[in-house]
């Protein structure tokens, strides 16, 4: 069965510091992985997906199949990055399986 694990419920970093939000997955098939973000009083929105291999708002995430991880990284955190971040896995049926989320707080 598929499973997404985000081990940190809360993460605080200082502005300008690097940030890494961890995500591990379990899935027997070929995974499609995503990071969704929910800013305060806004809806859940897609941040990035592994197949795009893009950098969005300075964030990157690399799929590591050996470690079954998809950690989200940014070299220099900004205050506006404070939000709830969800790692998600999409199966062939197009349904998303989410982790429990990590609340990131960037301290000025």
Residues that bind other proteins (CB under 8 A): 4, 32, 36, 43-46, 49, 51, 86, 90, 92-101
| Closer Cβ to other proteins, 71 or 99, answer by number | 99
**Contact, 70 vs 3, CB < 8 A?**
no
Q: What is the DSSP letter of 81?
A: G
Nearest distance, CB of residue 95 and other proteins, angstroms: 4
Largest CA distance in the chain: 42
Nearest distance, CB of residue 44 and other proteins, angstroms: 4
Nearest distance, CB of residue 17 and other proteins, angstroms: 27
| Closer Cβ to other proteins, 43 or 108, answer by number | 43
Q: Which residue has the tokens 């929105």?
A: 45
Show the tokens assigned to 15.
Answer: 């502005």
**Contact, 102 vs 59, CB < 8 A?**
no
| Closer Cβ to other proteins, 68 or 90, answer by number | 90
């Amino acid at each position: 069965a598929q499973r997404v694990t985000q081990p940190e419920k809360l993460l605080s970093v200082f502005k300008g510091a690097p940030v890494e939000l961890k995500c591990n997955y379990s899935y027997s098939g070929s995974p499609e992985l995503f990071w969704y973000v929910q800013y305060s009083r806004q809806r859940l929105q897609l941040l990035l997906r592994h197949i795009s291999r893009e950098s969005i708002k300075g964030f990157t995430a690399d799929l590591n199949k050996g470690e079954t991880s998809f950690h989200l990284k940014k070299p220099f955190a900004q205050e506006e990055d404070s939000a709830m971040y969800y790692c998600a896995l999409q199966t062939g049926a197009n349904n998303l399986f989410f982790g429990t989320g990590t609340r990131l707080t960037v301290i000025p």
